[in-house]
Amino acid sequence: MNIGEAAKSSGVSAKMIRYYEETGLIPPAARTQSGYRVYAEADVHRLRFIRRARDLGFSLVDIGELLGLWRDQSRQSADVKQLALAHIAGLRRKIVELEDMASTLETLAQACQGNARPDCPILSELEGPAHPSLPDAASARDNGVRGKG
Amino acid sequence: MNIGEAAKSSGVSAKMIRYYEETGLIPPAARTQSGYRVYAEADVHRLRFIRRARDLGFSLVDIGELLGLWRDQSRQSADVKQLALAHIAGLRRKIVELEDMASTLETLAQACQGNARPDCPILSELEGPAHPSLPDAASARDNGVRGKG
DNA sequence: CTTGACCTTCCCACGGCTGGAAGGACTATC
DNA sequence: GATAGTCCTTCCAGCCGTGGGAAGGTCAAG
């Protein structure tokens, strides 16, 4: 099975498969005499695992650990759970942060007439926090949670 | 005022100030004879504007537009509002996406014993959606929250 | 034999920074 | 006025995960 087929049936692009191999997330694929990468069902299975973990927002480092636990028959489910809970906490932090931004902006947008005149509370707020009645803007910007941008 | 002072009093790092200048977000600063950048209060004011917009999650491209509107005395508040509303929509989309991830993971984590034994529904879910006992968790992921596939 | 689809490696770009190295400029102290 | 220490300058490289594309090799079909 060539990389294209493996990509199609795993949902991971060929580019990404090569990248994952290069960074050591997955072991080097077998090769044909001419240098083409060759994949077996087990490899595709692993790629699908990675894809699903990405869909759940895990970083590649986390996924490396998850793969290790997956392969380890003597693993403890507590270790997996801990990883998951830590990731959930990161997601929740990020959600709160974005929620703060969105709600602040919504308050400002509601106060903005949105007409042909220049005066705008959104710009006033950005200009300076001279509006004591409005909620604070969020301060931290990124805590490492992967989005899908 | 040197770049270090401007950085301190605006909350934007010196590195960032140079970067913003390089990318054209802000105009080139004045220079001393020896090449040091020099900043006036108005420059710091603009940097603070940028900082606050970043805190609200605006991209640098968006901030460029906001700066243009800010400077433009004949602006229409409708234009500012439109920008804000588009950004809010983006934030909300991302929040929903992260929320889906978090809730799926929470369902899985709750089903995981978290003990010394190896069996773990989290890994089972990642392995393949062939888990009839947890259909809700599986479908939450499939519901449109995929980034670029 | 040629066409076209695939594969290979390689580098570049994105956003939004952060860090560091090499070297010049300034200020304070001896 | 030498020296130390802190600031400033530019340039280069990396982070994360991915897409894009060039230049060239390989393979199957017509």
pTM for the full predicted model: 0.84
Contacts of A127 in chain B (CB under 8 A): 45, 49, 70
Residue among B70, B77, B92 whose CB faces A112 most closely: B77
Vertex A132, ends A131 and A137: CA angle to 5°? 75
Q: Does residue B93 belong to the interface with chain A, where contact is any CB pair within 8 Å?
A: no
Residue B31 has pLDDT above 80, yes or no: yes
| Category of B50 on φ-ψ map: left (φ > 0), alpha (ψ -120 to 50) or beta | alpha
Task: Sketch the domain layout of chain B as residue ranges.
Answer: 3-71, 92-142
Q: What is the model's pLDDT at position A29?
A: 96
Residue A131 has a pLDDT of: 52
Query: Hey, are the CB atoms on B88 and A109 less than 8 Å from each other?
Result: yes
- Residue A112's SS3 state is coil
Residue B144, pLDDT score: 30
Alpha carbon distance A51, A36 (integer Å): 22
pLDDT at B138 over 90: no
Under DSSP, the state recorded for B112 is: -
A138 reaches B (C-beta below 8 A): yes
pLDDT at B137: 40
The CATH class for the domain spanning A3-57 reads mainly alpha
Report the C-alpha gap between B56 and A35 in whole angstroms.
49
User: Is residue A54 classed exposed, middle or buried when 0-12, 13-18 and 19+ CB atoms within 10 A define those classes?
Assistant: buried
Give the closest of B92, B126, B129 to A102, CB-based: B92
Q: Model confidence over B94-137: pLDDT tens digits?
A: 999 999 999 999 999 999 998 899 899 999 999 877 555 444 44
Amino acid at B131: H
Separation of alpha carbons B93 and B86, rounded Å: 11
Is the minimum CB–CB distance between A46 and chain B shorter than 8 Å?
no
CB-CB under 8 Å, A114 with B77: yes
pLDDT at B38: 97
State the pLDDT at residue B130. 57
pLDDT, tens only, B37-59: 999 999 999 999 999 999 999 99
Q: What is the pLDDT of residue B132?
A: 52
Which listed CATH number (1.10.630.10, 1.10.1660.10, 1.10.3720.10, 2.130.10.10) goes with B3-71?
1.10.1660.10
Q: What is the pLDDT of residues B62-72, one digit of tens each?
A: 999 999 999 99
Q: Would you say A106 and B87 are in contact if contact means Cβ atoms under 8 Å apart?
A: no
Per-residue pLDDT tens listing for chain A (149 residues): 999 999 999 999 999 999 999 999 999 999 999 999 999 999 999 999 999 999 999 999 999 999 999 999 999 999 999 999 999 999 999 999 999 999 999 999 999 998 899 899 999 999 887 555 444 444 444 444 544 43
Query: Which residues fall within 8 angstroms of residue A113, CB to CB, at 6 or more apart?
Result: A119, A120, B77, B78, B81
